[in-house]
Each structure stands twice: as structure tokens, then as C-alpha cells.
Copies of this chain bind each other. A is one copy, B any other.
């Protein structure tokens, strides 16, 4: 059994691994958990003793199979709870993260299986992120950052790279939601901003936005 702190470390390492595929540095974990490198060093030793991470001093850390299974299970719980909050409790997609962050630590296998069923076995959370199945299998869809599309390419908005409520509220304000079709009409070289077509309306999108919006090309 893992404490909430341990679970948060495992989840952080899991997310960092999916970006980098290298050993994860102490500093990277510290930054992602808003804590200090010294705290991370301490915790990593404990996780290593519990055989959920592989660790050589100064050499970074990787999840073991057990660690990855544990981490995907936490991610599964987080994302199922997010779906629950949006679908059943009328939360908006920018309100769910902090509550799901708490709910993901509730320990009950039956609870999560029944919740899954209640929600109709969803495959993606409200931000478009895939929900791992019971065995930890993640069905990743083929998606590209909006910033990688060329002029005249188009696709459907399928996810976000930044789940902060600021970003999500910004998207709401612009009328950008998952499922919407987006076409790139112009690209500015000097600031990498885009002109896009959405709902037959023309929008100007900064590079920062385009770097945080996932599109399934069509």
C-alpha cells in the first residue's frame, strides 16, 4: 500500500517518463511536484526500497513494472473521476483537476470498477487524455499539436497539453472545445502565430496556444 505522497511521486515520474524515455532527474521531479530536490532524493530512496523505481545515485530514476502498474492505476482513477465530475455532477473541464487530485487516492477496487461501469466505460477524460484500462493498457490515439499543422491542413480538436483552468477557460472563451474542427489558414513566421478557421469563424491563435492544443489530422 502506498501513501498519498508516494502515489503523487509515482504519478509524476510516470508522466515525466512518457515525455522523455530517459531516466528521470531529481530536479525534474522536484519541479513537477513543486518541492525541493532534497525531498525528492529522500522519497526516491523509499520508493526504491519498495521496488517501484530503479535508482542509481546521480543517475536518475525509472519506474519498475510494478511502479508503472501502480502509476497507471492512479492515472486511471484520476481520469475516471474527472469524467464523473463532468458527466454526473456538471463540473466544467476547468474545475475537475483539483478535486480529481484528491479522489484519485481513495482506496477501493470495487469503487473504481463500479464507477467505470456507471460512466459507461469511457475511453478518454474531459481533456482528451486516454483512460488506462484495468490492466494498465493505454489506448493512445494519433494526435498532433496544432502548432505542427501546415497551412491548409485541418483536423478535429482531441485534447489539451495544459489542463490549467486558465488555459481551459481561455479555450472556452474562444469557443474551442473537444470535437471542434479546426483548419489552419495562415502561419506568421515572426511570432509563429496561426490563423485558424473554427465554426466558419476566423481566429488568431498565439504559438503558446497552438503548442497546447492537440488535433487529430483529417
In A80-129, the 8 Å CB interface with B consists of 85, 88-91, 95, 98-99, 102-103, 106-108, 110-111, 114-115, 118
**Distance between Cα atoms of A106 and B96 in the complex (Å):** 13
Kindly report which residue of chain B lies nearest to residue A112, judged by CB atoms. Answer: B89
Cα of A106 to Cα of B107 in the assembled complex, Å: 13
CB distance from A84 to the nearest CB of B (A): 10
Q: How far is the CB of A113 from chain B (nearest CB, A)?
A: 9
- Binary flags per residue of A181-203, CB closer than 8 Å to B gives 1, else 0: 00000000000000000000000
Q: Which residue of B lies closest to A90 (CB)?
A: B114
Contact, CB under 8 Å: B118 / A99: no
Range of interface residues on A (Cβ < 8 Å) = 10 to 19
**What residue of chain B has the Cβ atom nearest to residue A99's Cβ?**
B108
- Chain B's nearest CB lies how many Å from the CB of A119? 10
Known pairs A95-B110, A110-B95; A115 contacts B89 (CB<8 A): yes
Is there contact, CB below 8 Å, between B102 and A106?
A: yes
The reply to whether A89 and B102 form a contact with Cβ atoms under 8 Å apart is: no
Query: Is B118 within 8 A of A89, CB to CB?
Result: yes
Q: Is the CB of A107 within 8 A of B102?
A: yes
Measured CA separation A132–B95 after assembly (Å): 26
Task: Contact check, B88 vs A118: say whether CB atoms are below 8 A apart.
Answer: yes
Q: Which residues of B contact A108 (CB under 8 A)?
A: 98-99, 102
Q: How far is the CA of A102 from the CA of B110 in the complex (A)?
A: 14
Query: Separation in Å of the A104 CB from the closest CB of chain B?
Result: 11
The CA of A196 and the CA of B103, in the complex, are separated in Å by: 44
Known: A85-B111, A91-B110. 9 other contacts (CB 8 A): A89-B110, A89-B111, A89-B115, A91-B114, A98-B108, A99-B106, A99-B111, A102-B106, A106-B106
Give 5 CB contacts A-B under 8 Å: A85-B111, A91-B114, A99-B106, A99-B108, A99-B111
